[in-house]
């Protein structure tokens, strides 16, 4: 299984063009993830990725069987990154490691993204393409 994660800039597909051209690593189980988290605040995700979807490297990869999926966007992604905090901590309202805390509304946006949208993204991927995770250890021993 291969997973290629790209942003909304054509330059993000330079390596994929080389992978496709040289037939380096493009197995039948290939996902190309359009990372909505990299779209600048206020920009439409659909518009941001429109040129990417028509890029020759992406078209060639899809012709070889690659599936394209979109990782969910998060409007306050930049603020979370600048806070140097974990998504779960921001969602829980914990003080940031750096900078100002996010607003209550942005904390809720992060919580919905982290607790619903991200798991929903992974639930939509063929489970045979996902690594098997070891069962969580029981809390009580």
Query: According to the model, what pLDDT value does residue 78 have?
Result: 87
Same domain, 60 and 99: no
For residue 139, is pLDDT > 50?
Answer: no
**Between 138 and 108, residue with greater pLDDT:** 108
Q: Which of 29, 51, 73 is the last residue of a domain?
A: 73
The confidence score (pLDDT) of residue 121 equals 93
- Counted residue by residue, the chain has a size of 141
Check residues 23 and 13 and name the one with the higher pLDDT. Answer: 13
User: 26 or 116: whose pLDDT is higher?
Assistant: 116
The answer to whether position 34 is within a domain reads: yes
Last residue of a domain, one of 36, 52, 73: 73
Does residue 140 surpass a pLDDT of 50?
Answer: no
- Give CA–CA dist 17/96, Å, rounded: 39
**Domain-ending residue, one of 56, 73, 90:** 73
Structural domains in the chain (count)? 2
Structure tokens at 12: 């993000």
Q: Which of 120, 121, 96, 119 is nearest to 107 (CA)?
A: 96
Establish if 134 belongs to a structural domain: no
Query: Whole-structure pTM over 0.85, yes or no?
Result: no
**Cβ–Cβ < 8 Å for 65, 28:** yes
Strand ranges across the sheet with 67-71: 2-6, 30-35, 67-71
Q: What is the pLDDT of residue 72?
A: 93
Assess whether 10 and 32 both reside in one domain.
yes
| Residues 69 and 79 placed together within one structural domain of the fold | no
- The domain in which residue 114 lies consists of 75-128
Claim to verify: residue 12 and residue 66 sit in the same structural domain: yes
pLDDT tens-place string over residues 23-69? 777 788 889 999 998 887 777 888 889 988 999 988 988 888 889 99
């Amino acid at each position: 299984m291969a997973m290629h994660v790209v942003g909304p800039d054509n330059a993000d597909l330079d390596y994929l063009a080389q992978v496709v051209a040289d037939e380096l690593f493009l197995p039948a189980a290939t996902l190309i993830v359009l990372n909505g988290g990299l779209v600048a605040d206020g920009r439409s995700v659909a518009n941001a990725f429109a040129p990417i979807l028509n890029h020759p490297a992406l078209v060639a990869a899809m012709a070889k069987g690659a599936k394209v999926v979109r990782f969910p966007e998060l409007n306050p992604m930049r603020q979370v990154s600048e806070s140097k905090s974990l998504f779960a901590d921001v969602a829980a309202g914990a003080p940031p490691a750096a900078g100002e805390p996010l607003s209550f509304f942005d904390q809720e946006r992060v919580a919905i993204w982290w607790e619903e949208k991200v798991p929903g993204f992974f639930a939509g991927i063929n489970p045979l393409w996902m690594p098997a995770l070891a069962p969580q250890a029981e809390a009580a021993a």
